[in-house]
Structure 1
Amino acid sequence: MRAMLTLLSSSSSSSSLVLFSKKLFLLPKPSLTLSFFSRNTTTMSINLQSHAFAGNPIRSKTPKSTDPFSPNSALDSLKTQLLDNTLLQQPPSPDFKVLPFRKGRPLASSIPGEMTPSWHLGWISLPDCRNFLEKSGVQLSEDSLVYLGSRSEDDVVYWAIDVSSEAGLVPELGSKQFCFVELRTLMVATDWADERAMGELAIAGNARALLEWHNLSRFCGVCGAKTVPMEAGRRKQCSNVLCNKRIYPRVDPVVIMLVIDRENDRALLSRQSRFVPRMWSCLAGFIEPGESLEEAVRRETWEETGIEVGDVIYHSSQPWPVGPSSMPCQLMVGFFAYAKSLEINVDKEELEDAQWHSREDVKRALTFAEYKKAQRTAAEKVEQMCKGVEKGQSLAADFNVESGELATMFIPGPFAIAHHLISSWVHQDVAPNGVQVRTDQSSSSISNL
């Protein structure tokens, strides 16, 4: 059994913040509903079109091979531009934008906002990328760039590059108020009601996953020979012609589940020793070979807590590229799981604790956790870093009750699929057929998942 190494799976690419009355609303199936209470206990809901790191705006579909924006066509154009210095001095078509990464951190910048600063990705032009690297004594080649996607309407193709070994770039880019920022920090700093910001977060997540996978797959796992990038970095191939193995980006599937006690209206939440104080979340675990998703939910729940699970209902899924570099991208698959037994027997090697929590207790945790305050703090931290004045501030300290005292418990923020599993249960009664019927009349929206 492997316990999940990264449990705060993220969520929420959202487009609008709406204040509802006590009226019932039917939301379309692809949407997720986040509900929480403001100070006057009015329920607020966000209609989430997709989770964080999903909904990448530059890779919704892959162009045909003959299209100038396809990976192979863009790579041919890239080779031409790198070989011909005169082309780099003229506006190319399509235009190329490059996103540098250093040790898993994307380049970012920040601009002041009316309420809080707003971060954005630090895209640089192909000529600038080439000049920056040449100052460090590095020759830019097509094999060092990874295709991310395109916007044909803007005549732009996007690439990523890993510059971890080029320490000289840090002061060079810092002088232009760019900074390499942890993706997790950007995740917390992102306003989940800002569609543009959520799109950039998804792009950065996809780029990090691809670059980390490239770093892990430098050699063939069959014969040990070096691998070479193919299809503009979207896959790799063994350089040994006798082997010639094709290697594709790695995805690690993980089940994450909210275990529910129907009879007593409770949910099972757990803590790991590495969690920040007072944080509780869902159970989760990796899927094993030859195992279905439902089987993984039941096995992990039994192994970690001794609870036997019956019905398993799918909720939603989320790519999670902010785990350890050894797992470039986890795919979190979220479920509601209904308990058949109630006695908890915690596996102390996997969990610090697991407890049943009533709907009201969890609702209070959602009420008190000041997620927007944490988002503002992280956004300000990014701004400070881009100005070269990084502060060592703990974001966990911002999850406080409104009186200024510490909340007794809180759950992962709206960037996490765990948050949406828990929030959906708190405000809606999830029937065995997967249809959510709201029973809490103080809340305001209903969705079929």
Structure 2
Amino acid sequence: MLFSYSSSIITNFFSKTLIRPHSSHPVLLCTMSLNSHAFAGNPITSRTAKSSDPFSPQSAFQTLKTLLSTQSHDPISPDFKILPFRKGRPLTGSNQPNWHLGWLSLGDFRAFLEKSEVGLSENSLVYLGCKYEDDVVYWAIDVSEASELVSEFGDRQFCFVELRTLMVATDWADSKAMGELAIAGHARALLEWHNAARFCGFCGGKMVPMEAGRRKQCSNELCKKRIYPRVDPVVIMLVIDKENDRVLLSRQSRFVPRMWSCLAGFIEPGESLEEAVRRETWEEAGIEVGEVVYHSSQPWPVGPASMPCQLMVGFFAYAKSLEINVDKKELEDAKWHSREDVKKALTFAEYKKAQETAASKVEQMCKGVEKGQSLSADFNVESGELAPMFVPGPFAIAHHLISSWANQVVMNGTLSNL
């Protein structure tokens, strides 16, 4: 099963059916809600609740402080579940064909920590959210300094797995697995932000967690500067030559061989999203852009720790000029690609094979028998031949932009702009 926007093979998870204007034939509509993208659609509630609500960050935090101060092991309501992270990697288990997050009860986590030199305090745990229907509050914690826990968890067939590996390993038709991925991404973003924001940028004082880790405040009584979790907005755009029915795709030197993708760039201060699209396209490819149309957005918590969570904001950008002038400092190459070539790229890339390979790797890691399989290996077609080109998999918003255009997916009830 190939994961591209082809009407015969796309999963229901990614699409729904509408009627093409002036036609009785159904077409596929990319679901523009956050649930259509990896790392979005977090299933645990993180809403602002009344302080008296036992599931609220304030109430849950007070309960946590009481439990830790009394060393109580009595059952509590709501229940507390903890997800440990090490160097940005969540604790993970695997029951083929799916991986799962390594949630621990507060009691079990305490038992693990007793064998390490790492202490447990209320400020080391970060509130993630809750599930009212299950009577559970979820927390995350960074245990990077407790290296001995790696073997302790390994004895239970748990391991710390890179989030990018889990991203590729996720079965895109499995809504529960996609929810787990979203939770892991949210938790990693919060923990990396806590690690990066240790000191006040105004006075240099120590920053301390507040509101169960949902914000931080300077400990200097003369400052008390508040800061909140950081999000770095990025525009990502598919540049379209409407007259010649083709799109501009680019390569960066860090890409695996034969992979092409959309242009992208960070938004500068005082700049609108549309202005950023036009500026980045001109700077990187020398193409002048006119109309800019919003497509969808995606949280992206798998970047460097210095940018704990990027928000990818996707657009279709319509070219006003066609001559390419590549900025070699930014790109290795950029070329126009016909709709036919792009459809072939989507058909040839065996995303399902990549997902199964990554899932197998996660299982091996959890069993302690990792064989070092490369997730950046070339995608092969079923015949064994190499595809001439391929684009990022369904875990990336670039795939959704490209496949929506290639297959003329309905947006806002019209196909006219595609």
The residue type paired with residue 231 of structure 1 is E
Output the CA distance in 2 between the equivalents of 1:253 and 1:103. 23
Kindly indicate whether the alpha-carbon contact (under 8 Å) linking 1:13 and 1:195 is maintained by their aligned counterparts in 2.
no
Letter in 2 for 1:122: G
* Cross-structure match for 1:407: 387
Give the aligned partner of residue 92 of structure 2: 108
Matched-pair identity in % = 76
Determine if contact 2:380/2:387 at 8 Å carries over to the other structure: yes
Q: Residue 83 of structure 1 corresponds to which residue in structure 2? A: 69
Residues paired across the two proteins, number: 406
The alignment status of 1:362 with 2:353, answered yes or no, reads no
Aligned residue number for residue 54 of structure 2: 68
Structure-2 separation of matches of 1:360 and 1:94: 55
User: Does residue 233 in structure 1 map to residue 233 in structure 2?
Assistant: no
Whether 1:193 aligns to 2:173 is yes
Aligned equivalents of 2:417, 2:228: Cα separation in 1 = 46
Query: Do structure 1's residue 181 and structure 2's residue 165 form an aligned pair?
Result: no
Q: Match for 2:396 among 413, 416, 428?
A: 416
Any idea what SS the aligned residue of 1:161 has?
Answer: strand
Q: Quote how far apart the aligned CAs of 1:49 are.
A: 3.6
Tell me which residue corresponds to 1:393.
Answer: 373
Q: 1:377-392 counterparts in 2 under 5 A? A: 377-392=357-372
Which letter does structure 1 place at the counterpart of 2:31? S
Distance in 2 (alpha carbons) for counterparts of 1:19 and 1:405 = 33
Tell me the CA shift for residue 104 of structure 1.
Answer: 0.3
Report the Cα offset of residue 134 of structure 1.
2.1
Aligned AA (1:83): S
Range moving further from structure 2, 62-71 or 185-194: 62-71
Q: Would the aligned equivalents of 1:56 and 1:203 in 2 still touch at CA under 8 Å? A: yes
Specify the SS of the correspondent of 2:311: strand
- Superposed displacement of residue 61, structure 1: 2.8
In structure 2, the residue matched to 1:31 is: 31
Change (3 A) 1:99 1:203: same
Length-normalised TM-score, structure 1: 0.86
Contact 2:378-2:386 at 8 Å conserved across structures: no
1:430 to partner: Cα distance: 7.4
Matched-pair contact (CA < 8 Å) for 1:186–1:201: yes
Match of 2:80 among 68, 88, 96: 96
- Among 40, 48, 52, the residue aligned to 1:54: 40
Contact 2:27 2:410 in 1 (8 A): no
Q: How far apart are 1:391 and its partner, in Å?
A: 1.8
In the superposition, relative to structure 1, how do residues 382 and 436 fare at CA in structure 2: closer, same or farther (>3 Å)?
farther
Structure 2 alignment gaps of length 5 or more: 1-9
User: Which of residues 195, 204, 227 in structure 2 aligns to 1:247?
Assistant: 227
Change (3 A) 1:429 1:318: closer
Q: 1:363 to 1:439 in 2, by over 3 A?
A: farther
Note the C-alpha offset of 1:20: 11
CA contact (8 A) 2:264 2:280 kept: yes
Contact 1:301 1:309 (C-alpha < 8 Å) held by counterparts: yes
Q: Aligned with 1:437: secondary structure?
A: coil
AA at the equivalent of 1:384: Q
Q: What CA distance in whole angstroms lies between the structure 1 residues aligned with 2:294 and 2:92?
A: 35
1:200-224 deviation digits (Å, cap 9, x = unpaired): 0000000000000000000000000
Structure 1: distance between partners of 2:407 and 2:188: 35
Give the Cα–Cα distance (whole angstroms) in 1 for the partners of residues 56 and 19 of structure 2.
47
Q: Which amino acid aligns with 2:309?
A: C
**Counterpart of 1:347?**
327
**3-state DSSP class of the match of 1:396?**
coil
Q: 1:438 to 1:303 in 2, by over 3 A?
A: closer
Give the distance between the partners of 1:14 and 1:144, measured in 2 at CA: 40
Q: 1:136 to 1:13 in 2, by over 3 A?
A: farther
Q: Are the equivalent residues in 2 in contact too, given 1:254–1:330 (CA < 8 A)?
A: yes
- Give the secondary structure class of the aligned counterpart of 1:257: strand
- In structure 1, stretches of 5+ residues that fail to align are 1-11, 33-46, 441-449
Taking CA–CA contacts closer than 8 Å with sequence separation of 6 or more, which of the two structures ends up with the larger relative contact order? 1
Per-residue Cα deviation, 1:97-118 (whole angstroms, up to 9, x for no partner) = 0000000000000002xxxx21
- Match of 1:383, SS state, is helix
Counterpart of 2:268?
Answer: 288
CA RMSD of superposed structures (Å): 2.3
Deviation at 1:76, TM superposition (A): 0.2
- Please state how far the C-alpha of 1:31 moved relative to its aligned partner: 1.4
* Structure 1 position 15 matched with structure 2 position 10: no
Question: Given residue 62 of structure 2, which amino acid in structure 1 is its aligned partner?
Answer: D
CA distance 1:430–1:347, change in 2 (3 Å)? farther
- Cα distance in 2 for partners of 1:315, 1:309 equals 16
Structure 2 distance, partners of 1:392, 1:148, is: 32
Q: CA deviation at 1:25?
A: 3.5
Which residue type is aligned with residue 398 of structure 2? Answer: A
The answer as to whether partners of 1:134 and 1:140 remain within 8 angstroms in 2 is no
Alignment match of 2:293 (pick from 313, 338, 354): 313
1:221 pairs with one of 201, 205, 210 = 201
What is the CA-CA distance between 1:48 and the residue it aligns to?
Answer: 8.3
Partners in 1 of 2:337 and 2:215 — Cα distance? 45
Say if 1:14 and 1:50, in contact at 8 Å, map to a contact too.
no
Between stretches 61-70 and 347-356, larger displacement belongs to 61-70
Matched, 1:277 2:257: yes
Residues in 2 aligned to 1:202 and 1:349: alpha-carbon distance in whole angstroms: 33
Aligned-partner Cα distance in 2 for 1:342–1:16: 32
8 Å contact 1:314–1:335 — kept in the other structure? yes
Is 1:13–1:52's contact at 8 Å kept on the other side of the alignment?
Answer: no
CA–CA separation in structure 2 for the residues paired with 1:127 and 1:66 = 25
Q: Name the TM-score, length of structure 2 as normaliser.
A: 0.92
In structure 2, the partner of 1:43 is: none
Partner of residue 437, structure 1: 415
